[in-house]
């Protein structure tokens, strides 16, 4: 996952763009990014297909500790004669463990055209052909352990058990389940219908900070650099073995 600060002064404070898959390096990458920045209460804009369960939990707790606000979108910059203008395209994806990062926000908004999708935790190295793979008792223990950690995290973040029920009902050989507006409310993933609650702005017209449609080619983060991390779903949230690494993707 790549973190970028998107500046939009004087019309709004700016926000953190988080794009890509969560790996074991991501928590440290965020700490490196956050060093020297005042991120307390900042907005986090997510565009991710998920990744490691435990590293996402670590990251989500860090976000909550900073009191961050969360939403889904693609950060873009328009180059105008008056200078660069930042905005957010709402046609983005937040899948698998990204949903739990979204849950870390003290206020959470999902645009109507964004896609928030969930599925089961699984051993990441066997998610491509989960039915044909073999599993040991230790593998099952790892998955059960990570489900417990995820459940505690969900409740600590103020999420509902319905989120776990919906996620754990979708095996890796089925398509991800896209949460409906009603389910986003039921699971408490969404806490507000007002974009201004997560992207406060000084410009009453919202011309700069408003969520609006932009082409994929206008992404703020370099498209080529993120191809390997955002173009595909991870199929399952990665559960990671304590002894022999066996990442479980989500």
Residues 56-101: tens digit of each pLDDT: 999 999 999 999 999 999 988 777 666 667 888 999 999 999 999 9
User: How many C-beta atoms surround the C-beta of residue 194 within 10 A?
Assistant: 9
CB 118 within 8 A of CB 170: yes
Q: 61-96: buried (b, 16+ CB within 10 Å) or exposed (e) per residue? A: ebbbebebbbbbbbbbbeeeeeeeebbbbbbbbbbb
The pLDDT value recorded for residue 85 is 78
The pLDDT value recorded for residue 114 is 96
The pLDDT value recorded for residue 126 is 85
Residue 159 CA neighbour count, 13 Å, CB half: 29
Is it true that the peptide bond before 145 is cis, omega within 30 degrees of 0?
no
Average the pLDDT over 136-155 and give the result: 94
Under 8 Å CB-to-CB from 194, ≥6 apart: which residues? 109
Q: What are the C-alpha distances in Å from 27 to residues 23, 67, 160, 204?
A: 8, 17, 25, 36
Taking the C-alpha atoms of residue 146 and residue 241, their distance in angstroms, rounded to an integer, is 10
Q: What are the C-alpha distances in Å from 150 to residues 114, 153, 197, 233, 237?
A: 23, 5, 27, 20, 11
**147 has pLDDT over 90:** yes
CB 212 within 8 A of CB 195: no
Average pLDDT across the chain, whole number = 82
Residue 22, both tokens: 């969560």
**185 has pLDDT over 70:** yes
pTM of the full structure: 0.82
pLDDT band for position 144 (cuts 50, 70, 90): very high
Sign of the torsion angle spanned by Cα atoms 44, 48, 52, 53: positive
Taking the C-alpha atoms of residue 5 and residue 199, their distance in angstroms, rounded to an integer, is 14
pLDDT band for position 215 (cuts 50, 70, 90): very low
């Amino acid at each position: 996952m790549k973190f970028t600060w998107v500046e939009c002064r004087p019309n709004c404070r700016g926000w953190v763009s988080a794009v890509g898959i969560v790996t074991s390096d991501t928590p440290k990458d965020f700490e490196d990014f956050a060093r020297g920045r005042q991120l307390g209460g900042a907005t986090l804009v997510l565009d991710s297909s998920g990744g490691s369960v435990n590293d996402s939990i670590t990251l989500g707790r860090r976000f909550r500790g900073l009191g961050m606000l969360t939403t889904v979108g693609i950060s873009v910059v328009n180059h105008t004669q008056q200078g660069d203008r930042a905005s957010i395209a709402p046609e983005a994806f937040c899948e698998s463990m990204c949903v739990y990062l979204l849950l870390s926000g003290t206020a959470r908004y999902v645009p109507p055209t964004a896609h928030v999708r969930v599925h089961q935790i699984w051993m990441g190295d066997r998610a491509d052909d989960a039915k044909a793979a073999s599993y040991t008792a230790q593998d099952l223990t790892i998955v059960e352990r990570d489900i417990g950690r995820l459940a505690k995290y969900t409740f600590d973040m103020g999420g509902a058990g319905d989120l776990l029920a919906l996620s754990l009902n979708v095996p890796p050989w089925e398509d991800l389940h896209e949460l409906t507006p009603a389910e986003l409310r039921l699971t408490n993933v969404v806490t507000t219908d007002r974009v201004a609650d997560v992207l406060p702005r000084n410009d009453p017209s919202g011309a700069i900070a408003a969520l609006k449609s932009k082409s994929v080619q206008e992404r703020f983060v370099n498209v080529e650099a993120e191809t390997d991390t955002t173009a595909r779903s991870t199929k399952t949230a990665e559960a990671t073995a304590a002894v022999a690494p066996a990442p479980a993707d989500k």
